[in-house]
Chains A and B, each alone.
Chain A
Amino acid sequence: MQKKYLRWVVYLVGLLVLLVASVILSLSVGEMNLGFFDIFSILSQGNDSMEYTILSQIRIPRILLGIAVGGALSLSGILLQGVYRNPLVEPYTLGISGGASLGVAFAIVFGLHQLIGSFVLPLTGFAGAFLIIFLVYTISSRSGRINIQSMLLTGVMVSFIASSSMMLLMATSSSENLHGIVFWIMGSLDEPDMSLIYIILVMALVSLAASYFFVQPLNALRLGEEKAKHLGINTDITIKLLFLMASLLTGVCVAVAGVIGFVGLIIPHLMRLLVGSDYRILLVSSFLSGAIFLVLSDVIARTIISPNELPIGVITGIIGGVVFLLMMSRSSHRTLKNNG
């Protein structure tokens, strides 16, 4: 077997072990600490004890959502960075978070969630995200051919419009609504609806599998659009499909978990440093480490000022930012220049 493939297996096994470890950590710590071996006995007995309820009703749903959202966001990040060949692109650069936030703010300000039910928030969030995706996509593919750079600019501009509109909504809303909006924006893995968690988990895994149909185009795109074409890659279709997939995935995540920043930006970078630029290993390792990162961040968010809980977006932002700066000062400039 090639040395390269052997190395990939090592990365994969290592990340899986880390993921299992962080899941176990997340299961055991919290307001009530549970021993490592107790977890298994509690879960296998499946009785109606308080420990069982805590695990099955609170911790497991959060972990599953953390894995799904963390994995999905960093997968979107790595896909978009691959398509745009730009290290600063992340799932939120294209205005998807702005659109989703606008949708949710709209629902809160007009009291839709009280009128119809709480499931309306993810729905309007997704509608907002979808509207933005649709706008960016149609504006930048008007001429039939997608221009990557103008698409990026369009996304950034649409993002500004969306976030400004949201500020307008916030400025005119009551303080009670304001609190709801701000809290939602900061992001949380607290989602009472278990079926929603399963849906997003399945979507994330399916997207990961689907992204593997594009590893060769992505690998070829490392050389640039024109050279990828020379290698027989239909770059237009690849770029369109990957853009749609990554943004829909992000839209779903934001709609359910709020704006959890930085995962989609730093995890792909970290993985490029660690495993190299080959997308065959990069995609799955980004997914796994995104999941690990979010599960661990959630542990910190709910234990650091226990019994209160910090918004997870705060933790990912602070930890992510610090790690990113450390990484940048340690690595040579090479990685940032040649991210593609």
Chain B
Amino acid sequence: MMNPYILNIQNLCCGYPKFQLSEINIDIPKGSFAGIIGPNGSGKTTLFRAITGTLNLKSGKILLCEKNMLSLSPRQRAQNIAIVSQFSDAGDISVEDYVLMGRIPYHNRFSFFESEVDFQIARKYMEMTDTWRFKDRLMSELSGGEQQLAGIARALTQQPELLLLDEPTSHLDITHQVHILNLLQQLNQELGLSVLMVIHDLNLASEYCDCLILINQGKMHIQGTPEEVLAFQNIEDVYKTVVVTQTNPLSGKPVIFLASQKVLKEIQERHLTL
């Protein structure tokens, strides 16, 4: 029987001396396109670091495909989870060499040269992400959007079960935002790849994710579908901001509207005078 969950977080508690995540329980079904949302400083990145294994857990468990993360070696972990960070920091490495680094978890200490298979896999995902055409350029010469694409190509080259992305659309214009999210959606549907991303933009989260996790002050606020999570009560509770939730006429997904203080005041005054 196939395990229905790709990621299973049970009673997770972890963090730093001054900031703690506690009582985090998350279940992400296989094949999900999930998003972690929450205000700045709510613990999104901390949760992310816990899942990627860079932060030690205080208590609780993280199961990846029903296997305890702690029982996996770093190599096994890297074969199952690939991470796309906000910045590549790759400097003077060519795009192709950078993408080929995704094969490192599959190499043993003695394989100095990439095999033909490694090159083929890297090429396949570079073509899929449309990065093959600038494979010989240096990472530092790429634009932000191109770097993000190369990062995704590298992550795919790891052939993971779960793709984690840290704010893949920040610093990008809407063309690139939509381009990257469409690509992720396509990967999610065609390859059956499970995706989990930290994302700030609530409307993009709503449009693309089928499962959202709202984090607030180190605790889980709610996990569910965009319709459940983005209800205006939840958003106003967590973000302390007045919002209006409506439905996107094309996709039927919830859309969040904000209003300036001036407008809100005017509405209030109009109500008073009526």
Residue of B52, B89, B112, B113 touching A223 (CB-CB under 8 A): B89
Inter-chain contacts of A309 with B (CB < 8 A): none
Inter-chain contacts of A224 with B (CB < 8 A): 89
Q: Is the CB of A340 within 8 A of B104?
A: no
B119 at the interface (CB under 8 A from A): yes
Q: Using known A-B contacts A212-B112, A276-B92, A334-B140, determine if residue A226 contacts B54 with beta carbons closer than 8 Å.
A: yes
Q: Which of B118-166 contact A (CB under 8 A)?
A: 119, 140, 158
What's the Cα separation between A224 and B101 when bound, in Å?
13
Contact count band on A: 20 to 34
Which of A4, A224, A227, A229 is most buried by chain B, counting CB atoms within 10 A of its CB?
Answer: A227
Q: Using known A-B contacts A215-B112, A229-B54, determine if residue A223 contacts B88 with beta carbons closer than 8 Å.
A: yes
Inter-chain contacts of A141 with B (CB < 8 A): none
Q: Using known A-B contacts A229-B54, A337-B91, A338-B91, determine if residue A219 contacts B77 with beta carbons closer than 8 Å.
A: no
What's the Cα separation between A233 and B158 when bound, in Å?
13
Inter-chain contacts of A338 with B (CB < 8 A): 91-92, 140
What's the Cα separation between A5 and B115 when bound, in Å?
12
Contact with B along A133-167 (1 / 0, CB 8 A): 00000000000000000000000000000000000
Q: Is the CB of A232 within 8 A of B89?
A: no
Inter-chain contacts of A340 with B (CB < 8 A): 89, 91
What's the Cα separation between A335 and B91 when bound, in Å?
9
Q: Is the CB of B77 within 8 A of A232?
A: yes
Q: Is the CB of A219 within 8 A of B90?
A: no
Closest to B97 in A: A278
B252 at the interface (CB under 8 A from A): no
Closest to B52 in A: A230
B41 at the interface (CB under 8 A from A): no
Inter-chain contacts of B105 with A (CB < 8 A): 231-232
What's the Cα separation between A223 and B114 when bound, in Å?
19
Q: Using known A-B contacts A227-B89, A233-B74, A277-B93, determine if residue A216 contacts B83 with beta carbons closer than 8 Å.
A: no
Q: Is the CB of A233 within 8 A of B104?
A: yes
Residue of B78, B113, B119 touching A232 (CB-CB under 8 A): B78
Residue of B52, B85, B91 touching A277 (CB-CB under 8 A): B91
Q: Using known A-B contacts A230-B52, A230-B78, determine if residue A220 contacts B104 with beta carbons closer than 8 Å.
A: yes
Q: Which of A257-276 contact B (CB under 8 A)?
A: 276
What's the Cα separation between A285 and B89 when bound, in Å?
25
How many Å from the CB of B158 to the closest CB on chain A? 8
A213 at the interface (CB under 8 A from B): yes
B107 at the interface (CB under 8 A from A): yes
What's the Cα separation between A340 and B93 when bound, in Å?
10
What's the Cα separation between A126 and B74 when bound, in Å?
36
Q: Is the CB of A222 within 8 A of B93?
A: yes
B75 at the interface (CB under 8 A from A): yes
Inter-chain contacts of A302 with B (CB < 8 A): none
Inter-chain contacts of A118 with B (CB < 8 A): none
A306 at the interface (CB under 8 A from B): no
Q: Is the CB of B75 within 8 A of A220?
A: no
Closest to A1 in B: B113
B4 at the interface (CB under 8 A from A): no
Q: Which of A188-223 contact B (CB under 8 A)?
A: 212-213, 215-216, 219-220, 222-223
Inter-chain contacts of B107 with A (CB < 8 A): 216
Inter-chain contacts of B77 with A (CB < 8 A): 232
Q: Using known A-B contacts A232-B78, A334-B140, determine if residue A220 contacts B92 with beta carbons closer than 8 Å.
A: no
What's the Cα separation between A231 and B101 when bound, in Å?
8
Closest to B83 in A: A230
Inter-chain contacts of B119 with A (CB < 8 A): 2
A234 at the interface (CB under 8 A from B): yes
Question: Can you show 29 pairs from A to B with CB atoms below 8 A apart?
Answer: A2-B114, A4-B97, A5-B113, A219-B101, A220-B104, A222-B90, A223-B90, A223-B101, A227-B83, A229-B53, A229-B74, A230-B54, A231-B102, A231-B105, A231-B158, A232-B73, A232-B74, A232-B77, A232-B105, A233-B104, A277-B91, A277-B92, A280-B112, A280-B113, A335-B92, A338-B91, A338-B92, A339-B91, A340-B89
Per CB-CB distance, the 7 closest pairs between chain A and chain B, nearest first, are A338-B91, A232-B78, A232-B75, A232-B105, A232-B74, A230-B83, A231-B104
**Contacts A229-B53, A232-B104 known; 12 new A-B pairs at CB < 8 A:** A2-B114, A2-B119, A222-B93, A224-B89, A229-B54, A231-B104, A232-B76, A232-B105, A276-B92, A278-B97, A334-B92, A339-B91
